[in-house]
Amino acid sequence: MKYFKIEEFNCQETGNNQMDKQFLLLLDTLRHKCGFPFVITSGYRDPSHSIEAKKEKPGKHSEGIACDIQAKNGAERFTLIDEALCLGFTGIGIHKDFIHVDTRKTTPVIWVY
């Protein structure tokens, strides 16, 4: 990867990391297209992570195909979403402080937090 260190994606509670290599390559391309640095606020989450453990079935973070990227303003949010859609990311969550991106194989979705 050109823009990231694998450690940036470690589970914040266990330190484990099972990020998908194809996802990380696509994320690297997204970073290049956006033209500004990314702060990864959440990468891999072990199924035992407190957020994942509350779910009926662990989510995309625990599959290693999702991350949350800090968004500092509306222009960054727009660019992240626009480029992510162009690159084929299929899950996009919009929060005032971050954008979630994933490469789910099911029906593409966009949601707000």
Q: Which of 13, 21, 84, 2 is nearest to 42 (CA)?
A: 13
Residue 104 has what pLDDT? 98
Q: Give the three-state DSSP class for 41.
A: strand
Residue 70 has what pLDDT? 98
pLDDT tens-place values along the chain, 113 residues long: 999 999 999 999 999 999 999 999 999 999 999 999 999 999 999 999 999 999 999 999 999 999 999 999 999 999 999 999 999 999 999 999 999 999 999 999 999 99
Sorted by where each starts, the structural domains of the chain and their CATH numbers stand as 7-112 (3.30.1380.10)
pLDDT digits (tens, 9 = 90+) for 65-82: 999 999 999 999 999 999
Contact of 71 with 41, CB cutoff 8 Å: no
Sign of the C-alpha dihedral, residues 43, 28, 110, 99? Answer: positive
Contact of 38 with 71, CB cutoff 8 Å: no
